[in-house]
């Protein structure tokens, strides 16, 4: 009898438990699906709205409904009668140069701090940490005055802007240093033993291995200028031809402008977002690698 | 307070443990500060000793050196040239010539003007023939301060180079005495891509940082001790000059009333600082936990379309912030889409005051920041969660741990351990999160009691947006902005120091394993 019961339990119970587990897992998964769908909707709504409103023809005012009553490309056409193409070119050129120069500088810095052991290394890193605790906003005042003395503001803002974006970029070495730290040092040492100079080690061994971090750095450097608002506004100082898209579009939402340019802002936003987003989505893999690596390293 | 041993600590209940840890944290602060002071004092003493040693070394080099070395003390690089190291010698000599030339032609003037920041402001003279007033611009305080600082940098660089020059002579004498040849110019150039490659690589980035970050920061720190503002721009209207600690008194003294508002600058500063800290706390931790939660939901076994969910979220990172933030800020406006939708559904009668009521605005800002921040945290958390060994969960499940226990005993400790430093940087980053606040609210709604205290201060203003408003406001009180900037630095540095010194997970890297 007792044996029988034992047998019963051993044959029956696991099945029951399995069923219960399965049911609770389906329940859990269903609720997670619901949650994910809700999240996706919340996350996408603003972007759907902005696209829809950019096609609205009947009114340029910020209406409280989303779906246009009359569809058309009027807003996009209107964009090209403003300075928008100029802002777009400005931003694109700034992004391109920043991407190239900033990548070179960041890689030089991070590679050096990761691979070389020299006397000032620790002190240098601590010094940069302390520097980064000062609000960067503070330096804008003087940089603006210096740039304006050099004639690099307002209509000529572009070179000045690139200069400032690039110049201090060496401070953002953390992520790529974390990457270089993961490449085994024995590779370098083996090459050094074979008589390679430090430069040759960098060129022939490290760089070919560094594709992910190079792409990550280029990508983030390229995206930076598209979103820069503060310094670009300072430097262009009300001169339309020197603005970038962020400053130009921001001004369209001013109290006295918004009535006639709200939908144009939406259209401009869509045009700015498309190339950046496409590029980002294509290179997403590298971005994710960089972000996760960087956060773990701190 | 009483200190428990490990065994006694383990006997405590959960709440007693938490209380004990908390108490230890706060009683630890004075010790930590004391240690810091001790370390600073030690550093000063060490520096004094180092200077003494350097001086002794320089003296002995001079006394024991040959005539080439002795002459090098005056003519830099002479020793190198005389011993055949032409390239090094020429570079030293060139640097000395440039330095002396600069000091005679310009540097001396800037330095001599530095104590006064200029004596003669712009003067107007009446031209009788043309019947007009012509303005002559004389001294320029801004340039005096800027080039004064630059000249000081240059002098420090010169002293360092001179010291190197002396060292080189000593070294060369030693090498020659031992019968070995000195390095030629060719060797020097070669070493720049080899042994000294780091110098080549660092030259460009460090120059950029020095000129575009260090110089401006030193300049702006000095501005806090002047009266540089819109009406004293140092050039075309009035010169500015040193005022000592007056600006700190203005900002931190409760009795000094601000220009337009009813309360003092100190009260405004206190309010803005409090909100900045509250904001940074919530912005960091809501994102952190919700992001982790979403990451766990997406990564759960059996959930399909993982890539789709992730891509939807990542879209927010891809689209430039100024577009999404500005647009969302308009969505929440009184006449925006959200209020319009809620009213058309008949759920509310009046528009909700998302941006018009202080509390509403503060909560809305934090909520929208969740929308901005979750995708990023989701990516970070995904990467880390994948690294947690699966057998940890396996054995926990066998021991009968439910999902909540698995989370609090495995996932959370691991995450906190790995992302401790990240949390700290993200906290300080949020304190200075200009974009989110400025693009969403611009600091609004305005705080009437504080307004006029250099720009319209609002309830959602952070210190950093306040700083920006001060500099761009009508009066452009740069000196106040730089005081605020220095205070931001002090707060950030203090928080970082305390956290770094007291958090065990940061100190003992091996603890978790």
Which of A44, A142, A171 is nearest residue B219 as measured by Cβ atoms? Answer: A142
Residue B223 or B183, more confident: B223
In sign, the C-alpha dihedral spanning B310, B311, B313, B318 is positive
Distance CA A258, CA B336 (A): 12
- Which token pair is A125? 């890193």
pLDDT at A285 over 90: no
Residue B502 has pLDDT above 80, yes or no: no
Please check the confidence at residue B421 and state whether its pLDDT lies above 50. Answer: yes
Determine contact: A94 vs chain B, CB below 8 A. no
> Residue B186: its pLDDT value, please?
82
Domain range holding A247?
79-297
pLDDT grade, residue B196 (50/70/90)? confident
CA dist., res. B27 & res. A219, Å (int): 46
pLDDT tens by residue, B333-375? 888 888 888 888 888 888 888 888 888 999 999 999 999 889 8
A11 lies in some domain:
no
Phi/psi at B123 (5° precision): -120, 145
Share of chain B above pLDDT 70, in %: 95
Domain contains A32: no
Partner B, chain A 248-277, Cβ-Cβ below 8 Å: 249-250, 253, 262, 265-266, 269, 272-273, 276-277
- A4-62 pLDDT per residue, tens: 444 444 444 444 455 566 777 788 888 888 989 998 998 888 888 889 888 888 877 77
Retrieve residue B361's tokens: 């605005």
Q: Residue B420 is encoded by which pair of tokens?
A: 């401790």
Number of structural domains, chain A?
1
Q: Which of A63, A272, A298 sits opposite B320 (nearest CB)?
A: A272
- What pLDDT, in 10s, does the model give residues A147-186? 888 888 777 888 888 998 898 898 888 888 888 888 888 8
Task: Name residues 22-41 of chain A within 8 A of B (Cβ).
Answer: 25, 28-29, 32-33, 35-36, 39-40
Which of A65-74, B137-146, B258-267, B300-309 ranks highest by mean pLDDT? Answer: B137-146
Residue A164: inside a domain, yes or no? yes
Examine the pLDDT at B41 and tell me if it is beyond 90.
Answer: yes
Average pLDDT over chain A reads 83
> Which range is least confidently modeled, B98-102, B300-304, B462-466?
B300-304
CATH number at residue A149: 1.10.3720.10
Closest residue of chain A to B198, computed from CA coordinates = A112
Question: What pLDDT score was predicted for residue B501?
Answer: 67
- Please say whether the dihedral angle defined by the alpha carbons of residues B221, B224, B226 and B232, taken in this order, is positive or negative: positive
Mean pLDDT within B198-226: 91
| A vs B: CB pairs below 8 A | 247
Establish if A182 belongs to a structural domain.
yes
- Across the range A105-110, mean pLDDT stands at 92
Q: How many helices (H) and strands (E) does chain A have?
A: 15, 0
- Residue-wise pLDDT tens digits, B49-88: 999 998 998 898 888 888 888 888 888 888 888 888 888 8
- pLDDT tens profile B440-470: 888 878 887 776 656 678 889 999 998 888 8
Answer yes or no: do B489 and A141 touch at CB < 8 A: no
In a domain, A170, yes or no: yes
What is residue B258's predicted lDDT score, i.e. its pLDDT?
Answer: 64
Structure confidence by residue, pLDDT tens digits, B316-332: 888 888 888 988 988 88
Structure-block tokens of residue A32:
């997670």
pLDDT at B407 over 90: no
Examine the pLDDT at B197 and tell me if it is beyond 60.
yes
Residues of B in contact with A267 (CB under 8 A): none
In a domain, A172, yes or no: yes
Q: What is the pLDDT of residue B362?
A: 92
- Give φ, ψ of B309 to 5 degrees: -60, -45
> Residue B135: phi, psi to the nearest 5?
-100, 130
Structure tokens at B452: 């006029």
Average pLDDT over residues B91-110: 92
CB contact under 8 Å between A230 and B383, yes or no, is no
The tens digit of pLDDT for each residue in A212-253 reads 899 999 999 998 888 888 888 888 877 888 888 888 888 888
Q: Is there a contact between B335 and A276 if contact means CB atoms under 8 Å apart?
A: no
**Phi/psi at A170 (nearest 5 deg)?**
-60, -20
pLDDT at B206 (0 to 100)? 92
Residue B224 has a pLDDT of 92
Q: Which of B321, B331, B418 sits opposite A296 (nearest CB)?
A: B418
**pLDDT attached to residue B155:** 94
pLDDT, residue B449, reads 75
Q: Is the pLDDT of residue A93 over 80?
A: yes
Q: Quick one: pLDDT at residue A295?
A: 61
Residue A54: inside a domain = no
> Within a domain: residue A215?
yes
The dihedral sign for the CA sequence B297, B301, B303, B304: positive
CB–CB contact A291 B471 (8 Å): no
């Amino acid at each position: 009898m007792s044996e029988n019961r034992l047998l019963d339990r051993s044959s029956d119970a696991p099945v029951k438990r399995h069923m219960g587990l399965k049911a609770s897992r389906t329940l859990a998964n269903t609720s997670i699906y619901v949650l994910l769908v809700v999240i996706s909707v919340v996350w996408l709504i603003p972007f759907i709205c902005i696209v829809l409103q950019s096609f609205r023809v009947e009114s340029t005012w910020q209406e409280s409904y989303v779906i246009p009553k009359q569809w058309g490309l009027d807003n996009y056409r209107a964009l090209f009668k403003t300075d928008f193409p100029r802002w777009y070119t400005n931003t694109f050129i700034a992004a391109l140069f920043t991407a190239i120069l900033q990548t070179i500088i960041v890689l030089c810095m991070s590679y050096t701090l990761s691979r070389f052991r020299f006397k000032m290394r620790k002190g240098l890193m601590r010094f940069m940490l302390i520097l980064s605790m000062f609000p960067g906003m503070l330096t804008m005042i003087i940089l603006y005055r210096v740039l304006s003395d050099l004639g690099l503001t307002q209509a000529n803002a572009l070179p000045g802007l690139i200069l400032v974006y690039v110049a201090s970029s060496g401070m953002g070495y953390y992520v790529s240093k974390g990457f270089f730290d993961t490449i085994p040092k024995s590779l370098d040492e083996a090459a050094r033993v074979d008589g390679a100079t430090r430069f040759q080690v960098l060129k022939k061994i490290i760089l070919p291995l560094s594709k992910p971090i190079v792409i990550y750095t280029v990508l983030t450097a390229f995206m930076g200028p598209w979103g820069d608002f503060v310094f670009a506004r300072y430097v262009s100082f009300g001169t339309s031809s020197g603005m970038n898209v962020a400053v130009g579009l921001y001004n369209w939402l001013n109290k006295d402008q918004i009535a006639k340019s709200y939908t144009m802002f939406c259209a401009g936003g869509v045009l700015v977002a498309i190339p950046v987003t496409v590029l980002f989505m294509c290179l997403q893999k590298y971005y994710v690698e960089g972000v996760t690596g960087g956060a773990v390293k701190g | 307070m009483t200190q428990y041993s490990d065994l006694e600590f383990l006997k405590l209940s959960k709440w007693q443990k938490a209380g004990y840890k908390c108490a230890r944290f706060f009683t630890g602060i004075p010790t930590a500060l004391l240690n810091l002071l001790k370390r600073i004092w030690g550093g000063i003493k060490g520096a004094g000793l180092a200077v003494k040693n350097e001086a002794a070394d320089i003296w002995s080099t001079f006394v024991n050196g040959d005539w080439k070395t002795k002459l090098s003390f005056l003519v830099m690089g002479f020793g190198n040239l005389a011993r055949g190291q032409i390239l090094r010698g020429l570079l030293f000599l060139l640097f000395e010539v440039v330095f002396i030339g600069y000091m005679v032609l310009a540097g001396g003037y800037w330095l001599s003007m530095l104590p006064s920041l200029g004596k003669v402001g712009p003067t107007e003279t009446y031209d009788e023939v043309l019947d007009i007033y012509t303005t002559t611009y004389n001294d320029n305080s801004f340039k005096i301060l800027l080039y004064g600082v630059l000249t000081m940098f240059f002098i420090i660089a010169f002293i360092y180079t001179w010291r190197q020059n002396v060292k080189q002579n000593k070294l060369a004498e030693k090498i020659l005495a031992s019968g070995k040849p000195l390095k030629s110019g060719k060797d020097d150039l070669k070493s720049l891509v080899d042994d000294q490659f780091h110098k080549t690589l660092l030259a460009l980035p460090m120059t950029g940082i020095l000129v575009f970050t260090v110089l401006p920061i030193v300049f702006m720190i000095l501005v806090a001790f002047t009266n540089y503002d819109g009406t004293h721009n140092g050039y075309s209207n009035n010169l500015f000059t040193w005022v000592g600690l007056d600006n700190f008194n203005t900002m931190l003294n409760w009795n000094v009333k601000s220009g337009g508002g009813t309360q003092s600058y100190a009260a405004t500063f206190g309010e803005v600082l409090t909100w900045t800290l509250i904001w940074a706390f919530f912005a960091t931790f809501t994102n952190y936990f919700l992001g982790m939660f979403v990451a766990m939901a997406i990564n759960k076994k059996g959930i399909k379309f993982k890539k789709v969910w992730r891509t939807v979220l990542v879209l927010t990172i891809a689209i430039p912030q100024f577009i999404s933030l500005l647009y969302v800020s308009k969505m929440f406006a009184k006449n925006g889409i959200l209020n319009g939708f809620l009213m058309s559904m008949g759920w509310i009668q009046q528009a909700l005051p998302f941006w018009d009521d202080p509390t509403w605005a503060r909560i809305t800002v934090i909520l929208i920041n969740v929308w901005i921040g979750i995708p990023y945290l989701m990516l970070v958390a995904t990467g880390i969660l994948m690294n947690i060994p699966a057998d940890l969960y396996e054995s926990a499940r066998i021991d009968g741990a439910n999902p909540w226990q698995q989370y609090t005993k495995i996932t959370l400790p691991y995450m906190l351990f790995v992302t401790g430093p990240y949390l700290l940087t993200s906290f300080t980053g949020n304190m200075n999160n200009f974009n989110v606040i400025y693009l969403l609210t611009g600091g609004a709604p305005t705080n009437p009691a504080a307004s006029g205290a250099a720009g319209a201060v609002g309830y959602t203003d952070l210190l950093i947006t306040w700083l920006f408003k001060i500099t761009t406001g009508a009066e452009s009180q740069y000196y106040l902005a730089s005081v605020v900037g220095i205070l931001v630095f002090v707060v950030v540095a203090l928080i970082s120091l305390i956290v770094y010194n007291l958090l065990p997970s940061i100190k003992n890297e091996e603890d978790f394993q």
